[in-house]
Amino acid sequence: MDEALLRSLTPQVLAILVRRGADFAAAEDAVQDALVEAVRVWPADPPRDPRGWLVTVAWRRFLDAVRADAARRRREDLVDEEPGPGPTPSADDTLRLYFLCAHPSLTPSSAVALTLRAVGGLTTRQIAQAYLVPEATMAQRISRAKRTVSGVRLDRPGDVATVLRVLYLVFNEGYSGDVDLAAEAIRLTRQLAAAIDHPEVSGLLALMLLHHARRATRTAPDGSLVPLAEQDRGRWDTASIAEGVRILQAALARDRLGEFQAQAAVAALHADAPTAEETDWVQIVEWYDELTRLTDSPVARLNRAVAVGEADGPRAGLAALAALDDSLPRHTAVAAYLHERDGDLTTAARLYTEAARKAPNLAERDHLTRQAARLNTRADR
């Protein structure tokens, strides 16, 4: 069986059933039944039109379920609307499914889970493993999400920005269990880019590719974090970098700048620098200026303070940092780094220790603890 083919066809078939009038939960059950039948039948008798075969079988399974449910007898008229066999029309159904899974009535975690299930074709077990929760918990989350969007009619254009935020949440989960969510997010964003002509979709795809290109160098063999400046640039994925830059340049040429394009431009400048010392920090500051203008994001302003510290000196960076709320995540770590750059090792060591206590994960805590120990050792000499 070609599992990649089945995964690519699943959201298309599901979206067709929803467009024909099936509610989301019932449509997904029917599609899963059709996939089971495909696994049984296709090895011996592969269809000439796999998508059409799946649509026909799934629709019939849906109708069987409707007939068996006495509470839904009012929907028996759907039987008369069963289309004849043959190729299914080419319609933008997968795009509708993206918008449905990113419906504003869903929480971000539910939207991500439903997108991975319905559009990504992952099993509930795989999604649960990726998020390190029991399978029963994830099944309940997905069931609630399906109930929420059942009956929702997409009679207005969907919110592309919401879909992109959901995909970026998937990407940032990285890797856990047997599912590489970063790679899955790139695959889904490629699919979205093929279905919709939007510069911010291209911007997000470029951003993902540029970040993913550095993935192999972000951690040492012992699992410890490797800062960007210390990464082995010879191990970066140059093909992904070249593709990301090409996609970004095409998006920027359309002169409809958005936040993901601005973030991708920063990532491209990092990727383009042969060494950390040759990074064009002045341009990076300019792109962060654009990003803060677009989003007024505190995180973007924090990153801008780091860039200012590199472009104009650590004291300029500390001045930019002073204007921000010190309760921001990683604010203390940035302050520690800039104080170290300014030569105040005692303050930097104290701040690294404080930042370690606030770290959101074990790897980051260990990295910051090592930075504090390094400076304390230097101070003792």
Distance of alpha carbon 206 from alpha carbon 266, whole angstroms: 11
| Composition of the chain by helix, strand, coil, percent to 5 | 70, 0, 25
> Are 62 and 26 a contacting pair, CB within 8 Å?
yes
Residue with tokens 């002073």: 322
The one-letter code for the residue type at 124 is: T
Both tokens of residue 37? 């039948």
Position 235 pLDDT exceeds 50? yes
- The model's pLDDT over 110-168, given as tens digits with 9 standing for 90+, comes to 888 888 888 887 888 888 877 778 899 999 999 998 888 887 766 555 678 888 988 88
* Residue range 203-221: mean pLDDT, rounded: 95
Of residues 172 and 201, the one with the higher pLDDT is 201
The whole-angstrom separation of Cα 234 and Cα 211 is 15
Token pair 């379920």: residue: 65
Asked whether 201 and 189 are in contact (CB, 8 A), the reply is yes
Helix (H, G, I), strand (E, B) or coil at 124: helix
The model's pLDDT over 250-286, given as tens digits with 9 standing for 90+, comes to: 999 999 999 999 999 999 999 999 999 999 999 999 9
Using an 8 Å Cβ cutoff, are 30 and 22 in contact?
yes
The answer, yes or no, to whether residue 244 has pLDDT greater than 90, is yes
